[in-house]
A and B are shown apart, each in its own frame.
Chain A
Amino acid sequence: MSLPTYTAWNYRIWHYTYLTICGLVFFFLIAPLFIILPLSFNAEQYIHFSAKMLALDPEGFSLRWYEDMIYGTKNPWGLAAKNSIIIAFFATIGSTILGTVAALGLSSRHMPYKAAFMALLISPMIVPLIISGTAIFFFMAKVGLAATHTGIVLAHIILGTPFVVITVTATLTGFDHSVTRAAASLGSNPVNTFMKITLPLILPGVISGALFAFVTSFDEVVVVLFLAGLETTTIPIQMWVGLREQLSPTIMAVATCLILMSTLILVSAELLRRRSERLRGINR
Chain B
Amino acid sequence: MWDFPFLPEQASTFAGEVDAFYFALVGVTAFFTIAIYAMIWVFSVRYRRGKKANRSNPPTHNNFLEAVWIVIPLGIALAIFGWSAKIFFDLRTPPQDVMEVHAIGKQWMWKFVNEDGKYEVNELHVPAGRAVQVKMISQDVLHDLYFPAFRTKQDVLPGRYTTLWFEATKPGTYHMFCAEYCGLLHSGMIGKIHVLKPEDYDTWLADVGRSATASGGGSGNAIVDGAQLFEEKVCHTCHKTNQAAIAPSLIGLYGSEETLADGSTVVIDDAYIRESIIDPQAKIVAGYQANMPTYKGQVSEEQIVQLIAYIKSLK
A, B in one complex: no
Query: Using a CB–CB distance below 8 Å, which chain B residues touch chain A?
Result: none
Chain A interfacial positions (CB closer than 8 Å to B): none
